[in-house]
Chains A and B, each alone.
Chain A
Amino acid sequence: GESVGLHLPTLSVQEGDNSIINCAYSNSASDYFIWYKQESGKGPQFIIDIRSNMDKRQGQRVTVLLNKTVKHLSLQIAATQPGDSAVYFCAENIRGSQGNLIFGKGTKLSVKP
């Protein structure tokens, strides 16, 4: 999710398709990564997390992939539904820090019925 000008990057998908949201992180000392979902007018909601000793973790309809070599994180949502429409943030936590989450810029997911 790189920022483009003043606008959030947007991913538009058809209902029922799979979605892939990408995130690049910069700090090689980060060892914990989290994806949050933020619906309009609400606070960020935890989706799934992954530690740096793993490269894949699955939840219900979601999968997070971590590639430490290129410092890349992705969130895959299977069978995307209209209720998945939101802004998605990746966040990283640097080894030795105490809950100091560093958030990425966010990607807006729009699901077309």
Chain B
Amino acid sequence: DTAVSQTPKYLVTQMGNDKSIKCEQNLGHDTMYWYKQDSKKFLKIMFSYNNKELIINETVPNRFSPKSPDKAHLNLHINSLELGDSAVYFCASSLTRRHFDIQYFGAGTRLSVL
């Protein structure tokens, strides 16, 4: 069973479109994250939710809106997609928001904006 699963694995779309990426974890964790990995493999945190509550919101355009319907799910909706949004997006989860809790990552969603 996959612990942190993301769908879709690949997403190809046109500029200006709106798209969503879904993430689910079956680890019973309280905290979930979204990261962006650019073409140079640089990984940067975007958002973090703890028990459906937003706790980290890095400098990310308003076009990106996370939604957590329950603590096992954290979806990422992106409006008006731009070329620069092309990247691999990773979802992760940790047991709690505690500083030393290990974060477990999904396999990623490769977004290509044409």
Contact = CB atoms under 8 A, between A and B. Distances in A.
Interface stretch (A12-20, A41-49, A63-71): A41-49
Contacts, number: 72
Interface string A97-108: 111111101100
A21 B104 CA distance: 22
Given A32-B99, A99-B99, A100-B48, A42 B43 contact: no
Contact of A51 (B4, B33, B100): B100
B104 A105 contact: no
B56 A98 contact: yes
Interface residues of B, number: 29
Contact of B99 (A87, A89, A93, A102): A93
Contact of B90 (A8, A44, A95): A44
Contacts of B50: 98
Interface in B12-37: 31, 33
B55 interface: yes
B108 A42 contact: yes
Given A99-B48, A99-B94, A101-B45, A46 B56 contact: no
10 contacts: A36-B105, A41-B108, A43-B92, A98-B56, A99-B33, A99-B97, A99-B99, A100-B48, A100-B58, A105-B40
